[in-house]
A and B are shown apart, each in its own frame.
Chain A
Amino acid sequence: MESTVIKTVDYNAYFGDNRVVKDVNISIPKNHVIAVMGPSGCGKTTFLRGINRMHELIPHAKADGKIFLHNEDVMQMHPIFVRLKIGMVFQRPNPFPNLSIYDNVIAGYKLNGIKLQRADKDKIVEEALTKVALWNEVKDSLRKKGTFLSGGQQQRLCIARAVAMLPEVLLFDEPTSALDPISTSTVEELFHELKKNYTLIIVTHNMQQAARVSDRTAFFYMGELVEYDDIKKMFTNPKDNRTQNYITGRFS
């Protein structure tokens, strides 16, 4: 039986008085890829940022309801600890421009003041870069700046930086929207590899990407979680008309 990693109960997120995520109840199983889709402004990114408590960093933003990481209430945990366990990768590759590839990978440790032996650092860097299929491409240029890499490589470096902290869950906010089709396909291949060790939640505007990479898909509309089901069901026979209208492009 598959175990649940993330579970939300009546989760709401607000900007000021505006409720943008409404009573979301969802269970996310371990080692699955979950795609979150919906039209612009449906609350999908806010929901994603709520999972590792980044939503509350925005002024006047607040959230209520519950989010569980396994059985622990994320709302009661220290936000830094939450973000160690639930990493995030953003739309545009954002390696630290002044840091080398090597230092970018272990940036999470440095920023959190965690001191490591050289040998441990080397091991973490190699493992993380191997997991994102970047090791062979950069092993001879680890001291070069991260920004020296191509867009697709930079995005994989950012994934390596998240992976290096040994998270359980990785959140992706439109991770390939700034990439060309070849880099996109490399990153998509990577998702299949990453899900062996992590649980992935991906916000995507690209429906075909959701179809290609995810096991389950959540469809958001006007802040509500309208439908959450097996990807094959969603794309062959969605239950809700709003989902059908969205995926068939008949959305008004």
Chain B
Amino acid sequence: MTQIETELQRLKKEVINMWALVHSQLVKAKTAMLNFDKDLAREVVLKERRVNGYELKIDCDCEDIFALLSPVAVDLRFVLAVLKINTNLERIGDIAEGIAKYILSIDEPFQQELLSTTHIVEMYEASVNILEDTLSAFENEDTILARSIFKKDEFLDEINLRSHKLIEAYLKNHPEDLDHALYALSIIRKLERVGDQSKNIAEEIIFYIEAKVLKHKSHH
């Protein structure tokens, strides 16, 4: 294996490790939300520093590869893609932290009715699935799976679009639950951003494997 291949393999492993951490952060924030587990939420907030650490390390590694190994062709596209994927993953990490902070801010668990009316749990599961799919597409260089993410993101967009009306309806019946309803709405908005970030990641995966730029293009 050439030196650049070794370095790129190492970089790929590093990104996959970061991905696993971000995934676990998102899942833990969900568990914290469903079980009203403030300890777990606190853990997510603390571990956000590790996500940031990964981001800085990967940025540095990419810089070194550019400076020392002059990557070209697919190698160049890979490092460029990793730089952007890194930023997107870090933002998903921020989202998990944000959700965990909401859990720390509330005094009681969410009402079951609020969760079911807003489809927040389904949406959460879909977000986690999308993140898992992007990781699998990245690990296996699977552009078919990467392309399927655009469709899945639309599901999150739909729930997000409907959420305003759903929360409004819920509040008519439960005006006393305003605080929680607003938190639920904020979580929905954040989960919608997980879809957007995953879509960006999928675009980068396709760019580096197929050299096709999909950014700012319709995916239909």
Q: Which residues does A use to contact B, with CB under 8 Å?
A: 207-208, 211, 235-238, 243-244, 247-250
- Is B211 in the interface zone, CB < 8 Å from A? yes
User: Which chain B residues border A211 with CB–CB below 8 Å?
Assistant: 72
The one of A237, A247, A249 that contacts B211, using a Cβ cutoff of 8 Å: A237
Q: Which residues of A contact B77 (CB under 8 A)?
A: 236-237
Nearest chain A CB to B107 CB, angstrom units = 55
Residues on B with C-beta less than 8 A from A236 are 72-73, 76-77, 211
- B5–A244 touching, CB < 8 Å: no
Residues of B within 8 A of A243 (CB): 73
- Total number of B residues with any Cβ neighbor in A under 8 Å: 12
Closest to B4 in A: A249
Is B105 located at the chain interface by the 8 A CB criterion?
no
Measured between beta carbons, the chain A residues less than 8 angstroms from B73 are 235-238, 243-244, 247-248
Residues of A within 8 A of B75 (CB): 248
- Could you say which residues of chain B place their CB within 8 Å of the CB of A237? 73, 77, 211
Enumerate chain B residues within 8 angstroms of A208, measured Cβ to Cβ: 70
Interface residues of B (CB under 8 A from A): 2, 4-5, 70-77, 211
CB distance from B143 to the nearest CB of A (A): 15
Q: From A239, which residue of chain B is reached at the shortest CB distance?
A: B211
Q: When the two chains form their complex, are residues A235 and B4 in contact, meaning their CB atoms are under 8 A apart?
A: no
The docked-state distance in angstroms from the alpha carbon of A250 to that of B75 is: 11
- Complex interface: chain A residues within 8 A of B72 (CB): 207, 211, 235-236, 247-248
On chain A, the residues within 8 Å of B5 by CB distance are 250
Q: In chain B, what residue has the closest Cβ to A237?
A: B211
- State the CA gap A178–B73 with chains docked (Å): 28
Give, as a whole number of angstroms, the nearest-CB distance from B80 to chain A. 9
Question: In angstroms, how far is the closest chain A Cβ from the Cβ of B35?
Answer: 49
Other than the given A235-B72, A236-B77, 18 more pairs (CB < 8 A) read A235-B76, A236-B72, A236-B73, A237-B77, A237-B211, A238-B73, A243-B73, A244-B73, A247-B72, A248-B71, A248-B72, A248-B73, A248-B74, A248-B75, A249-B2, A249-B4, A250-B2, A250-B5
Which A residues are CB-close (under 8 A) to B2? 249-250
Q: Which residue of B lies closest to A244 (CB)?
A: B73
* Residues of chain B lying within 8 A (CB to CB) of residue A249: 2, 4
Contacts of B70 in A (CB 8 A): 208
Most buried by B among A211, A238, A243, A248: A248
Nearest Cβ in chain A — how far from B60, in angstroms?
A: 22
Q: Look across to chain A and name the residue whose beta carbon is closest to the beta carbon of B76.
A: A236
- Name the residue in B2, B5, B73, B75 with the highest tally of chain A Cβ atoms < 10 Å from its Cβ: B73
- Could you tell me the distance between the alpha carbons of A221 and B164 in the complex, rounded to whole angstroms? 62
| Interchain CA distance A238-B77 in the complex, whole Å | 12
B211 cross-chain contacts in A, Cβ below 8 A: 236-237
Cα A238 to Cα B76 in complex, Å, equals 12
Could you say which residues of chain B place their CB within 8 Å of the CB of A250?
2, 5
Residues of B within 8 A of A235 (CB): 72-73, 76
Chain A min CB distance to B11 (Å): 15
CA A235 – CA B211 in complex, angstroms? Answer: 12
In the bound complex, how far is the Cα of B189 from the Cα of A25, in angstroms?
58
Instruction: Give the complex CA separation of A243 and B74 in angstroms.
Output: 11
- Kindly provide the distance from the CB of B148 to the nearest chain A CB, expressed in whole angstroms: 24
Selected A-B contacts with CB under 8 Å, 30 pairs: A207-B72, A208-B70, A211-B72, A235-B72, A235-B73, A235-B76, A236-B72, A236-B73, A236-B76, A236-B77, A236-B211, A237-B73, A237-B77, A237-B211, A238-B73, A243-B73, A244-B73, A244-B74, A247-B72, A247-B73, A248-B4, A248-B71, A248-B72, A248-B73, A248-B74, A248-B75, A249-B2, A249-B4, A250-B2, A250-B5
